[in-house]
Amino acid sequence: MNARSRIFSLFAVVCFAALPLLASTKFVQRWVLTGVPIPQFHKMLVAAVMENYIVRQEFEDTMKTQLAKYGVEGVQSYLVLPPKNEMMEGELRQRIRESTLDSVLVVRPKAVRTESEEVVTGGVYVPPPGYYSFWPYWNTVMGTFVPTSSYTKENVIVRVECNLYDTKSEKLVWNGESDTVYSKDFEKLGKNYAKSLIDQLKRDKVLRKKWPQPPSD
């Protein structure tokens, strides 16, 4: 499969992962194109590959709003593609060729795991004896917290993959993977993930702030 086919076959998915994007996001790895300047994109198709329509819509709508701050017009895939992207690759490729899109962002859940977390619900803070006078404190770095109650919580962690492509060269420009803690507040999750993704793209200098336009005469 050549590079062109690999890029657009991402959309020819019959069945999506059933897991939503989630809040409390941390990007665990990223890759940014080097050796050539990163293109200044102007019109980006944002495609969240998932079954949960609420999260997909909230994510793509928030991406559109956030991208506008960087002079990029975001196009929500749910407005231009079928609900499950059940479109032949050739048809999709032709649509993109005939459009003014210069970039495509694909976001999809990749894996899931469960982690245990101890949550402390109460405790007593006791300053060490040396804290009560200045000089003994000078040589001490922290006090003591004695937990009195706690419980163990199981967190579902979802690994989410993001790929950004330049439609002209059909090359990968940026790749990132994030870990996110599962939650059922789908509207909030979609919005929060979009903002986390935008922040990461900004830190990696893939997105650059739009310069203000000079006033017209």
User: Cα–chain-centroid distance for residue 115?
Assistant: 21
Number of H helices, E strands in the chain: 6, 6
Q: What is the mean pLDDT of residues 142-168?
A: 77
pLDDT band with cut points at 50, 70 and 90 for residue 132 = low
Interior angle at CA 90, CA 87 and CA 93, nearest 5: 90
Within 10 angstroms of residue 156's Cβ, the number of other Cβ atoms is: 14
pLDDT of residue 116: 78
Residue 52 pLDDT > 60:
yes
| Cα separation, 44 vs 77, whole angstroms | 10
Q: Which CATH architecture has domain 3-116+159-203?
A: 2-Layer Sandwich (3.30)
- pLDDT tens-digit series, residues 172-215: 999 999 998 877 888 988 899 999 999 999 999 999 876 555 45
- pLDDT tens-digit series, residues 30-50: 999 999 899 999 999 999 988
Can you give the residue ranges of every domain in the chain? 3-116+159-203, 118-151
Q: What is the mean pLDDT of residues 153-173?
A: 89
For the chain, what percent of residues have pLDDT higher than 70? 66
